[in-house]
Amino acid sequence: MKMRLLTILLFLLPSISSLGQSETTLEIKSGETDQEIYVIVDEAPQLKGGEKALSKFYGKKSEHEIAENRKDGKTVYFQMVINQDGSVSDLEILLSQSMELEKEVRRIVGLMPKWIPGIKNGKVVRTKITQELTFIVPIQPQLLS
C-alpha cells in the first residue's frame, strides 16, 4: 500500500509541477501494458513546429476562443500520452470548470496530428505530458424572472 501511494505521488508531483520541462529521469510503468511511460525525458515530445504550432492548432480547432492567460477565461488541465509513433492516447482530464469545456478538450485532442515523440537516453519513448487550455467563455445573460 505504501509503495502504491509513493508511486502515485511520484507520478502526480513531477507532471503537475514541471509543465513543459524536460529533464532528469523518472519512469512510471503503465498498469495496462508492459511499456514504460515516462514523465520526464531528455527531449520532450512536441508538435511539429513547436509551441507556436500547438497554440495555432488549438486556436484553429477550438469552437471557443483560446485565452492568452488564465486570468482571461476558464482553464482545463489535462494529461495525455505521446506514443512512440507520435500518436496521442490516454487523455485524462485533471481539472475542469465545465463539462462543456472538458468535452471540447476531448474533441480537440481527438483531432490532433502526430507529434514528434519524446527521447530518453537516445531512445524514442512513450511520454505523458500535461497541458492546459484556457477558453474565453462568453457570459450568458441571465433571464429576468
Taking only the tens place, the pLDDT of each residue in 103-121 is 999 999 999 999 999 999 9
Taking only the tens place, the pLDDT of each residue in 10-55 is 344 444 434 444 443 444 444 444 489 999 999 999 999 999 999 9
Single pTM value for the model: 0.71
β strands within 20-68, DSSP E = 26-29, 36-40, 46-47, 65-66
Q: Which three cell numbers stand for residue 136?
A: 474565453
Q: Please give the C-alpha separations between residue 29 and each of 7, 37, 39, 73, 97, in angstroms, as whole numbers.
A: 10, 6, 10, 35, 30
